[in-house]
Amino acid sequence: MEPAEVDALLAAEHAEQRRQAVLAMVKLDPSEVVPRLLRALGDSDWRVREEAQRIGANLAIDEALLSALIGAVAQPDNVGLRNAALALLGALGERASSALLDAFKAAEPTARKFVVEAIAGTGDRRAVPLLSDVAVASDLNDAAGAIEALGRIGGAEAEAALRRVLGSQEVYLRMAALQALDRMRVTLPWEQLEPLLSERLVFRVALSALGRTGHVAAVAPLLSALAESSSRLAAMAAGALCELAASEQGAEAVARGMLGLGQDARSRLRELALEGEGEAARAAVELLCRARDPEVLPAVVECACRNELADGAEAAIRAWGYDAARALLSLYQTDVDAPRAPATLELGSDLAASLSSGAVTAAFGGQPGGDFVVELRGALRAAMQSRQSELMAAATRAMAQWAEPGDAGRLVALAGSSHAEVCEAARLALTALVERDSEAVGRALLGVNLEGPSGQMLVELIARTGGEAAFDRLRTALLAPDPATRSAAIRALSRLHGLKVGEAIAMALTDESSEVQLVAAEALGGLLQRGEGSELLLQSLLVALDGPAPQVQEAAARALRWAEAGSEVDDALSHWAQAGGAELRVIAIDALVARASPLLGAALERALQDGEPKVVKKALNTYAVQGPSDPSTLIAALEHPLSEIRRVAIDLLLRRGDDRALAALFAHRERESDDVLRQKLGDALAELGRGH
């Protein structure tokens, strides 16, 4: 496209045509680009300006471009052009900073602040000395701009310069410096901040910095700010107080301060907690928890539901203790149908349970909090009967902490609920209860139907109840019509111990479902692994290895790796390392390796001749690790007809890196028929040559 055509497009009415003109610009002679780029940067449509910035950032930088951009920054008329030029200079970064520093020195007073802004945008720390000087200059606009630029650039040198400005006579500059330091999250000592607080303008800016001091004296000014009528000020103070409370020294002082909180500050915080949002609301919630204000509890529940309850708030509620739990329970009971009722109940329950590690034990014994615990359990049991599934689930989940032996039956019934959330809650509660009283859970599970989805979960619980009864129940579960339940029963059985466990699981290898057989074979492997094998178990796995279902065969081969040394197992694995499906052949080799079988060598020899690449690769990799020190086998594999096998052989020989291996690879390089492989080998050998 000719320059004139670009110009015509730049003058077009439609923004899209002008954007296309920008795209076409890059093909012009460089000397033709700059004026048109500048025109585009000053376009009335943001899309054209953005395209121009993108194009400009990729141009070769020369004086003409920088000069034009600086001129655009310094001009007072077109704000859009200035901003686009500032952004482009920022994108050019350090490449533009020298020119900008020179430009600053020569700039008109009215243009200097814009140049300073451009310097800040480059982020180049080489500008800090100049900016430090300007920051204490007599021109307030220049100085404020430099202070802001220092804050944006950051670093120790900039921080030192800004700290010096804090001692300035000019309040406006002190405020700017404090703001810049705040932006850098610099922690200033109380002693440096304290003299600044008397000035109202600076005081507002100092609030965040006060939170970082960790100084007890910072509490009072922050509390006074809380009582301010400005919500913004109160929000900043709340955030700062939370930060102070998280510090070692400030925590106690904030706690004391919050317990003596005045009415105005309390009202402001309630407003923030209940009506505000984001950080400010979270900070207000935390502080009101520290103030033990029951009015905050709905907001606490809201935060908890959104997983936004700050650590400090959680700690504060725990410190609040049973009174908070009691207050939550009261809040729940005022309207059990309220949307947040389930969360309120659960939070109260969790809080009570977390008050001390021995809370549950203590509660059983009617220790401190006993009356409350009775009331809480009553509420939970009533909620478990609710028609609202959400409330039912919340109460049932809470029963993980509070269920007593007598609750087991109800929990087992709920485990069969049609609501997945309630089922899961019942599972959690029963899993916890079984640790406290396995007999009660065992009794509750006695007549329960193990068919269906909940059956799988219940068999897990039965296993946890342990003992003979559990074994009998699980064996009965093997009669379930649903293979998934039978599988779950086998997994559960495998948690128990004893010879008959292995026998029952071995029998499951006769199951008509190959899924169940698979689980049984895996479970038997688990028993072998933990040293609970037997002759029957071993024979069963050998039969399974010989069976018709490939996955079961594979599971059996995996399991047999744990069998005690014996030629029968080695013979079988060696046989299937040759005669099985490809996956089984690989697994059988693995098992022979794991068993350090004397038949491994012969099996590997055969595997190297295998028609399936993955088996050959397995054999080669095994050879490389376990085989003899002689690399002949790997070298021979360089002649394999499949390139993927040769690739493995090459990798292994390269890894080996001894003289014989390398000589073979050098010799093979020219013979390699696969171009990619030959190239790769050549590169690797060249690399090795450079290394030597």
Partner 1 sequence: MLSPNSGGGTEVALFFNAGPRLEAEEFRLIRDLVHGFCGIRLADESRLAVERRLGERLDGLGLQNFAEYCELLSQTGRGQGELEHAVDLLTTNETYFFRERPQLQAFENEVLPQLRELCALRRSLTVWSAGCSTGEEVYTLAILIARSGLFAGWDVRVFGNDISRRVLKTARRGVYRGSSFRAMPEGWKAHFIKTPDGYMVESKVRSMCHFGHFNLLDRGRIALLGRVDAIFCRNVMIYFGDEARRSLIDSFYDRLTPGGFLMLGHSESLLHLSTAFELAHLTGDLAYRKPSQLPFVPRGAS
Stretch that binds partner 1, among 469-477, 586-594, 633-641, 683-691 (CB under 8 A): 469-477
Contact 580, 545 (CB under 8 A): no
Stretch that binds partner 1, among 370-378, 542-550, 562-570, 572-580 (CB under 8 A): 542-550
Give yes or no for residue 445 binding partner 1 (CB under 8 A): no
* Cβ-Cβ contacts under 8 Å for 371 (sequence gap 6 or more): none
Smallest gap, in angstroms, from Cβ of residue 680 to partner 1? Answer: 41
Give yes or no for residue 491 binding partner 1 (CB under 8 A): no
Smallest gap, in angstroms, from Cβ of residue 512 to partner 1? Answer: 3
Give yes or no for residue 691 binding partner 1 (CB under 8 A): no
Closest CA to 674 of 635, 646, 634: 646
Nearer Cβ to partner 1 (422/552): 552
| Joined tokens for residue 690 | 């450079």
Smallest gap, in angstroms, from Cβ of residue 564 to partner 1? Answer: 18
Three-class secondary structure of residue 325 per DSSP: helix
Q: Which of 478, 492, 569, 603 binds partner 1 (CB under 8 A)?
A: 478
Other CB atoms within a 10 A radius of the CB of residue 623 amount to 22
Long-range contacts, stretch 323-330, CB < 8 angstroms, 24+ apart: 323/292, 324/289, 324/292, 324/297, 324/348, 324/351, 325/349, 325/351, 325/352, 325/355, 325/372, 325/376, 326/372, 327/294, 327/297, 328/297, 328/301, 329/372, 329/375, 329/376, 329/379
d(CA 500, CA 105): 93
Nearer Cβ to partner 1 (211/455): 455
Stretch that binds partner 1, among 41-49, 75-83, 308-316, 502-510 (CB under 8 A): 502-510
Give yes or no for residue 476 binding partner 1 (CB under 8 A): yes
Stretch that binds partner 1, among 74-82, 139-147, 504-512, 628-636 (CB under 8 A): 504-512
Q: Which of 182, 503, 651, 674 binds partner 1 (CB under 8 A)?
A: 503
Q: Which of 548, 611, 641, 691 binds partner 1 (CB under 8 A)?
A: 548
d(CA 633, CA 617): 12
Q: Which of 48, 504, 603, 616 binds partner 1 (CB under 8 A)?
A: 504
Stretch that binds partner 1, among 110-118, 126-134, 170-178, 472-480 (CB under 8 A): 472-480
Query: Any idea what the Cα angle at residue 225 is, between residues 219 and 228, rounded to 5°?
Result: 155
First to last CA, the chain: 55
The site that binds partner 1 (CB under 8 A) totals a number of residues, namely 28
Give yes or no for residue 506 binding partner 1 (CB under 8 A): yes
d(CA 412, CA 415): 5
- Site pattern 133..172 for partner 1 (x: CB under 8 A): ----------------------------------------
Nearer Cβ to partner 1 (337/512): 512
Closest CA to 351 of 261, 269, 289, 428: 289
Smallest gap, in angstroms, from Cβ of residue 479 to partner 1? Answer: 4
Three-class secondary structure of residue 415 per DSSP: helix
Nearer Cβ to partner 1 (527/608): 527
CA dihedral 488, 490, 492, 494 (to 10 degrees): -150
Residues in the chain: 692
Give yes or no for residue 480 binding partner 1 (CB under 8 A): yes
Nearer Cβ to partner 1 (109/481): 481
Give yes or no for residue 472 binding partner 1 (CB under 8 A): yes
Smallest gap, in angstroms, from Cβ of residue 548 to partner 1? Answer: 7
Nearer Cβ to partner 1 (184/507): 507
Nearer Cβ to partner 1 (272/501): 501
Smallest gap, in angstroms, from Cβ of residue 538 to partner 1? Answer: 11
Smallest gap, in angstroms, from Cβ of residue 504 to partner 1? Answer: 7
Stretch that binds partner 1, among 68-76, 167-175, 478-486, 630-638 (CB under 8 A): 478-486
Closest CA to 174 of 207, 155, 201: 201
Name the CA radius of gyration of the chain, rounded: 38
Q: Which of 79, 536, 596, 676 binds partner 1 (CB under 8 A)?
A: 536
Q: Which of 80, 294, 526, 547 binds partner 1 (CB under 8 A)?
A: 547
d(CA 517, CA 550): 11
Long-range contacts, stretch 606-612, CB < 8 angstroms, 24+ apart: 606/577, 606/578, 607/577, 607/578, 608/633, 608/636, 608/637, 610/585, 612/582, 612/585
Contact 344, 391 (CB under 8 A): no
Smallest gap, in angstroms, from Cβ of residue 405 to partner 1? Answer: 22
Give yes or no for residue 509 binding partner 1 (CB under 8 A): yes
Nearer Cβ to partner 1 (548/611): 548
- What are phi and psi for residue 478, nearest 5 degrees? -70, -10
The per-type count for the chain, helices as H runs and strands as E runs, is 44, 0
Give yes or no for residue 490 binding partner 1 (CB under 8 A): no
Task: Give me the residues that bind partner 1 (CB under 8 A), please.
Answer: 446-447, 472-473, 475-476, 478-481, 500, 503-504, 506-512, 536, 539-540, 543-544, 546-548
